[in-house]
Amino acid sequence: MRLGMLLRKLRRRVPPGLYTYRTKEDGNIVLQLRVEDDGNGVLVVNANTVLYLNRTATAHVYFFMKGMSLEEAVKNIRKMFRVNKKRALEEHKKIVYTISTLARTEEVCPISYLEIERVEPFSMKLSAPVRVDLALTYRCQNNCIHCYAGGPRETEELGTEDWKRIIDKLVSLGVFLATFTGGEPTLREDLPELLRYAQEKGMVTGLITNGRRLKDMKYVRKLESCGLDFVQVTLESHIPEIHDKIT
């Protein structure tokens, strides 16, 4: 390939990497974009919606996350993809509207109402996982009859600095989301520290818990202040007696 053609091809791509956008205007919105080496992208909206983007859509999202005005974004899109102003403007508005709608409501079907094409799981080749679960401990206050973590054995746990190195490695690979689990992760006194560390590295963080420690609102506020984005509480049944019997 001639040098000139190669340079033009590279100019039509957003720099590969992991980009995070957070805002609390009109609700708490978190966008994470991973740009692959081929210029395509993966976008995670509020940790619960995953969109696979072609090069053009990736560029539109990238310029939006960079805080560019509509005029700036359209100018860059036209320069990058050699399209006319009308097309660049329409595409940018549509993509921004789609992202904003997905971020602000979970009640809309993106396929039916936003004309987003469905992609089958594992049909896209990705450079790294979107989410990784980190089992901080196998200790737990419950004794669930079905739990794989149960049993009399003792398991040596990694230390705080070990987990920070793992988080660093995940970030370097382009992993968006770290979910802290166990066992019961709230038994680790360094959980708030690890949450804050992951958040400062640009990751969205989640917690899978039995919920026992969440009765302490002071502890809940501490987790929130460290950047915790979402919580999943495990309930074995909506009937209290059945839940208690299992746990």
Q: What is the pLDDT of residue 10?
A: 44
User: What does the DSSP assignment read for 74-99?
Assistant: HHHHHHHH---HHHHHHHHHHHHHHH
Quote the mean pLDDT of the chain.
Answer: 85
Same domain for 146 and 92: no
Which has more confidence, 125 or 27?
A: 125
Give the Cα separation of 207 and 134 in Å (integer): 10
Residue 121 lies in a domain: no
* Tens digit of each residue's pLDDT (9 = 90 or more) over 174-190: 998 999 998 899 999 99
CA distances from 7 to 2, 13, 58 (A): 9, 10, 19
Same domain for 80 and 160: no
Same domain for 107 and 138: no
Alpha helices, H only, the chain: 3-11, 55-65, 70-81, 85-104, 110-113, 160-173, 191-200, 217-225, 240-246
Residue 122 lies in a domain: no
Same domain for 81 and 141: no
Q: What is the pTM of this model?
A: 0.78
Q: Which own/partner pairs from 77-85 qualify as long-range (CB within 8 Å, at least 24 positions apart)?
A: 80/11, 80/12, 81/12, 81/56
DSSP annotation of 2: -
Same domain for 157 and 51: no
CATH number at residue 201: 3.20.20.70
Q: Would you state the structure tokens that stand for residue 118, as one six-digit string?
A: 């469905």
Residue 118 lies in a domain: no
* Tens digit of each residue's pLDDT (9 = 90 or more) over 119-167: 666 667 788 888 999 999 999 888 777 776 655 567 789 999 999 999 9
Q: What is the pLDDT of residue 212?
A: 92
Which has more confidence, 174 or 244?
A: 174
Which has more confidence, 226 or 49?
A: 226
Q: Which residue has the tokens 């979402």?
A: 230
Residue 14 lies in a domain: yes
Range of the domain at 71: 3-113
Same domain for 148 and 104: no
Residue 194 lies in a domain: yes
Residue 18 lies in a domain: yes
Q: How many domains does the chain fold into?
A: 2
* Tens digit of each residue's pLDDT (9 = 90 or more) over 54-94: 889 999 999 999 999 999 999 999 999 989 999 999 999 99
Residue 124 lies in a domain: no
Q: What is the pLDDT of residue 237?
A: 78
